[in-house]
Amino acid sequence: MNNTPAELTVAVAGATGAVGRSMLKTLEARAFPASRVVALASSRSAGSKLPFKDTELTVRELTRNSFDGVDLALFSAGGECSRDFAPHAVAAGCVVVDNSNAWRMDERCPLVVPEVNPQALEEHNGIIGNPNCSTIQMVVALKPLHDAASITRVVVSTYQAVSGSGQKAVDELESQVRRMFNMQEPEAKVYPHRIAFNCLPQIDVFMPNGYTREEMKMTLETVKIMGDPSIKVTATTVRVPVFYGHSESVNIETRKKLSAKEARAILSRAPGVQVADNPELKIYPMPIDAAGEYEVFVGRIREDESIANGLNLWVVADNILKGAALNAVQISELLLEKNLLRVKNPRLFLQDA
Ligand code: NAP
Ligand code: 3JN
């Protein structure tokens, strides 16, 4: 990357979590040109070690002073930490890419998926939002179709892996399956009901309008990223007993007619998309194939026969990679490429901290 400063210090806040560990692995795998990486987490993990390249990082406690001398911080320690600490990071001159919901809908913060709206980065003010995982994979598939045929409405139902709720939820599914095979009562701590051999039509809390917060994130974030308030989105988000990989059934209505063949051709050329669509050979995207991959997989592309201009798609991606860590690292790469690793007004967010 041409515009890389000679010395570049990167911090990962929430480094011990499912997303944070994946961020470290992704920085390493993509040879991100950091000269120093700082791993931050809660006081519970301070002093513990995390593997990075051919060495180990010693985890430090996240505090307001953690960002002195840090150029770029990737946050994945939850919304409360992002609200509390990101303004102090910016005040120290550090650019923040935030994985939580805390700043996504703030007008001062662009919400970026590099394949969809890289231009939104240009005017950043120090905090850049990384969208929700379910939104990210959907908009990567929708953007090229919107450019070709102008989407008016989206109806999406998700099938979300337990890793979206962090390492504790991965452990809970595994433990419930083990206990049930041993004729023991499964324990539910992370979710309100058993997740093993079950589906939960609740992700995050219920809102006064009857949707869950996860569903409203998909609606609001899609409009912000696509930059088109005329797109109407309605979502039903469901947790399923899958470890890694979110799947989505996406139905779209468009102003211009697109045939399934045209949609398949457009998606085959789209950045970040891999089409897997050959029903005769039983080829379609599945979470077991998407786990560990960078792309968004699209299949089951067919015309919706119930309306004039409609398409159905099945969209699958690794929720921890493209849904979180990879997208954050891609934003970071873009910041370097575009020479945007700068803070215009360090005090801008301090009143919110
Ligand atoms: P996780 O596995 O539970 O990890 C949580 C991380 O946050 C750990 O490193 C934890 O440190 C740290 N942490 C928690 N409280 C802290 C505190 N008070 N001070 C400093 N560090 C603290 O969760 P995860 O799955 O990695 O998710 C983390 C966050 O990323 C989520 O809350 C969410 O905001 C975001 N996320 C976004 C997406 C997305 O859709 N883009 C997907 C998943 C997650 P300890 O190990 O020391 O406790
Ligand atoms: O549940 C999933 O599959 C994705 C979860 C994302 C998540 C989990 C806890 C807190 C978020 C998020 O990214 O929106 C948050 C949050 O920051 O609100």
Read off the pLDDT of residues 24-65 as tens digits, 9 standing for 90 and up.
999 999 999 999 999 999 999 999 999 999 999 999 999 999
Please state the length of the chain: 353
| Ligand 2 mutation pick, 74, 113, 132, max ligand atoms within 8 A of CB | 132
Q: Which ligand is nearest to the CA of 18?
A: 1
Q: What is the pLDDT of residues 170-196, one digit of tens each?
A: 999 999 999 999 999 999 999 999 999
User: Where are the CATH 3.40.50.720 domain residues in the chain?
Assistant: 9-131+324-352
CA distance 333 to 34: 11
Class of domain 9-131+324-352: alpha beta
Q: Which CATH number fits domain 134-319: 3.40.50.1820, 2.40.30.10, 1.10.10.60, 3.30.360.10?
A: 3.30.360.10
List the catalytic residue out of 133, 146, 193, 199. 133
Q: Whose CA is nearest to atom 10 of ligand 1?
A: 14
**62 in contact with ligand 1, CB cutoff 6 A:** yes
- What per-residue confidence (pLDDT) applies to 130? 98
Nearest to 125 by CA among 138, 149, 108, 137: 108
Q: Are strands 36-41 and 310-317 parallel, antiparallel or unpaired?
A: unpaired
- What per-residue confidence (pLDDT) applies to 2? 58
Counting from 1 in the atom list of ligand 1, the atom nearest the Cα of 133 is: 40
**CA 21 to ligand 1 center in whole angstroms:** 10
pLDDT per residue rounded down to tens, the chain (353 residues): 657 777 999 999 999 999 999 999 999 999 999 999 999 999 999 999 999 999 999 999 999 999 999 999 999 999 999 999 999 999 999 999 999 999 999 999 999 999 999 999 999 999 999 999 999 999 999 999 999 999 999 999 999 999 999 999 999 999 999 999 999 999 999 999 999 999 999 999 999 999 999 999 999 999 999 999 999 999 999 999 999 999 999 999 999 999 999 999 999 999 999 999 999 999 999 999 999 999 999 999 999 999 999 999 999 999 999 999 999 999 999 999 999 999 999 999 999 88
CB distance 301 to 322 below 8 Å: no
User: How far lies 214's CA from each of 100, 210, 271, in Å?
Assistant: 12, 12, 26
**CA 100 to ligand 2 center in whole angstroms:** 7
User: How far lies 324's CA from each of 1, 48, 58, 269, in Å?
Assistant: 22, 23, 23, 23
CB distance 65 to 40 below 8 Å: no
**CA 174 to ligand 2 center in whole angstroms:** 21
Q: Whose CA is nearest to atom 23 of ligand 1?
A: 166
**CA 132 to ligand 2 center in whole angstroms:** 6
Greatest extent of the chain over all pairs of C-alpha atoms, in Å: 60
133 is catalytic: yes
**E strands present in 141-183:** 151-160
Q: Which ligand is nearest to the CA of 221?
A: 2
**CA 58 to ligand 1 center in whole angstroms:** 18
Task: List all residues 6 or more positions away from 212 whose beta carbon is below 8 Å from its beta carbon.
Answer: 202, 203, 204, 205, 206, 237
**76 in contact with ligand 1, CB cutoff 6 A:** yes
Q: Whose CA is nearest to atom 18 of ligand 2?
A: 101
CA distance 22 to 98: 15
- What per-residue confidence (pLDDT) applies to 352? 87
3-state helix, strand, coil in the chain (%, to 5): 35, 25, 45
Residues of 83-106 as b/e, b for ≥16 C-beta within 10 angstroms?
bbbbbbbbbbbbbbbbbbbbbbee
- What per-residue confidence (pLDDT) applies to 5? 79
Counting from 1 in the atom list of ligand 2, the atom nearest the Cα of 163 is: 3
**Residue 7: exposure state from Cβ atoms within 10 A (0-12, 13-18, ≥19):** exposed
The Cβ of residue 310 has, within 10 Å, a number of other Cβ atoms equal to: 19
- What per-residue confidence (pLDDT) applies to 306? 98
User: Where are the CATH 3.30.360.10 domain residues in the chain?
Assistant: 134-319
- State pTM to two decimals: 0.97
Residues in contact with ligand 2 by the CB-under-6-Å rule are: 79, 100-101, 132-133, 160, 164-165, 203, 217, 319
Q: Whose CA is nearest to atom 11 of ligand 2?
A: 100
Counting from 1 in the atom list of ligand 2, the atom nearest the Cα of 214 is: 14
Which one-letter amino acid corresponds to residue 123?
E
- What per-residue confidence (pLDDT) applies to 1? 60
